[in-house]
Structure 1
Amino acid sequence: MVDDEEALARLVAGYLDRDGFEVHVCHDGAQALNLLREVDPDVVVLDLGLPGLDGVEVCRRLRTFSDCYVLMLTARAEEVDTLIGLSVGADDYMTKPFSPRELMARIGVLLRRPRRDPAAAAPGTVPAVTVGSLTIDPAAREVHVDGEAVALTRTEFDVLAALASRPGMVFSRAALIEAVWGPGWVGDEHLVDVHVLHVRQKLGDSAEQQRFVRTVRGVGYRMGPGR
C-alpha cells in the first residue's frame, strides 16, 4: 500500500490485514521502489500523487523488474490522469474518495486472474496463434511481430490473447472485461479502450491502420488481418 495520506494507508492496510494479506505500507515513491524490490508483492495499491517520485514514475520503474498487479489511486478524476497511469502498466484504477470495500473487491478480482508460469506449461498444450505478422504464444505468454519480441504487461497480453482466442468474433467491452478481469469486476468498461490503445502502440499498430486489433464501431473489438 503506497500512499502519502497516512490515515488512508492505515485504513486500507487494516482491511487487507483482516482479509489475511501480508501488508507493507510506505508513503513516498523512492521508499516504495526499495520495498517493492525486497518483498516482491502480488498486488500494489499505488497512489498517483506521491512526493518525490510520483505514482506514474514508480509504476514505470516497477515494470522493469516486476509483473505484479498494480491498482492506481488518484484524487484527480480527469481522463488524462487515468490514461497516463495506465500507460505505464497499471492494471486498474480508482479515484478518491473510494469505498474500501470496493477496493478490496477490485483486488480480489485481480488476484483471481491466474499467474501463469510458462515453465509449467507443457510444450504444445496451448497452440500459438498467428495473425499475419503477429504471433501470440499463450503457453509462454510471448508475443512477436515480424519475429521481434514485444513486451506487454500481463493485462495487455490477456486482452490480446482473449481477442486472438476467437479471431473472427467481435468482443464487446463487457465480454472482454469478463474474459480478462472476470465476472466479479466492477468499474468503468472504458478501461478496455485504454488497454487496447496501449496494445496497438506496442505492436506498432494504430487506430487508423488497425492491422491487429480492429474497432467495430458501436460494438467492440476483434482481431484484424495482421498485415
Structure 2
Amino acid sequence: MNPWKVLVADDDPNVREIIRLYFEKQHIQMIEAQDGEEALELAEKESPDIIILDVMMPKMDGYEACREILKRFDIPIMMLTAKGDEFDRVLGLELGADDYVTKPFSPRELVARIKAIFRRMQKGRTGTDQDAQQIYEFDGLSIIPDRREVLAGEEKIILRPKEFDLLTHMAKSPGTVYTREQLLEQVWGYDFIGDIRTVDVHVKKVREKLNPLGNDCIHTVWGVGYKFEVQQ
C-alpha cells in the first residue's frame, strides 16, 4: 500500500472526484481543496507528501498558491492546467513546481507522474556513502551533500531540492559538457516525462542565486548544453 498523502486543489468538483476515485484504487490518500487559499491552509495542517495545483482557481490561483507554499514548505508541487501555451508551462516550473500536467489528462498519467516524482525524491535521499561524505570545494564555493548545503564563502545559499541535485551532479565532473537530455536522465531520472525546458529553468534559478555572489559556475555550451566550471 502506498503511504502517500496527496493534496489536490481544483475548483471543479468533477475533476476532484475523478482523481479521488482513481487514487482510491491506487491506495493513495487524497486531501481536497477548492481554491488556492484552502490549499495553503491544508498544506500547513495536513503536511501532504505532494501538492497538485490547478492554475485557474478563485481567491488565489495556482501560481500564487505555488509561490506561497514554497515560501513556507519543502513539498513537491505539480501544476494542473487547461492551458497548452509553453509560457504557462514554463512559468510554473520557474516558480519552483516540479512538474505539470495539461488538461485533459488521464488519471493514470497523473499517478504515473506522481510515482516518478517520489522515485526521484527517494533517489536523491539514497546516494552512496562516498557521495554523502564528499565535500566539493571550488574557489569561494562549497557543496556539502550530506547536509545538502551550498556555501558561497560563509553565506549559505538556499536551493530547492532539484536545484541542489543539478548543481551537485555537474560539480562532480567539472568541465564535462552535458546535453539537456543527459541531465534530464541523470538528475531527474529516465522516467521523467515533463518538458526538456525543465533543465533550462533550473539552470536559470541556480544562476540567479549564485551569480550575484560571484559564483558564475554553470556555463552554456551553445548548441550542446551546459558544463560546470569555476574560473580560478
TM norm structure 1: 0.88
* Alignment correspondent of 1:172: 179
Alignment of 1:111-126 (within 5 A): 111-115=118-122, 125-126=132-133
Alignment of 1:106-145 (within 5 A): 106-115=113-122, 125-145=132-152
Q: Name the SS for the 1:113 alignment partner.
A: helix
Higher helix content, 1 or 2: 2
The correspondence for 1:99, drawn from 90, 106, 118, is 106
RMSD in angstroms over aligned alpha carbons?
A: 2.5
- Alpha-carbon distance in 2 for matches of 1:212, 1:142: 16
CA contact (8 A) 1:131 1:226 kept: no
Q: Deviations over 1:78-122 (max 9, x none)?
A: 23322322222111112222232222111111001235679xx98
CA contact (8 A) 1:133 1:226 kept: no
The correspondence for 1:217, drawn from 219, 222, 231, is 222
- Alpha-carbon distance in 2 for matches of 1:205, 1:80: 26
Q: Name the SS for the 2:211 alignment partner.
A: coil
Distance change in 2, residues 1:95/1:122 (3 Å) = same
TM norm structure 2: 0.86
Alignment of 1:26-65 (within 5 A): 26-65=33-72
Unaligned runs of 5+ in 2: 1-7
* Alignment correspondent of 1:72: 79
Q: Name the SS for the 1:107 alignment partner.
A: helix
- Alpha-carbon distance in 2 for matches of 1:80, 1:170: 27
Unaligned runs of 5+ in 1: none
Say whether residues 1:24 and 2:31 are aligned partners.
yes
Q: Deviations over 1:144-172 (max 9, x none)?
A: 22321111111111111121122221121
Q: Deviations over 1:124-162 (max 9, x none)?
A: 942121232222111111112232111111111111112
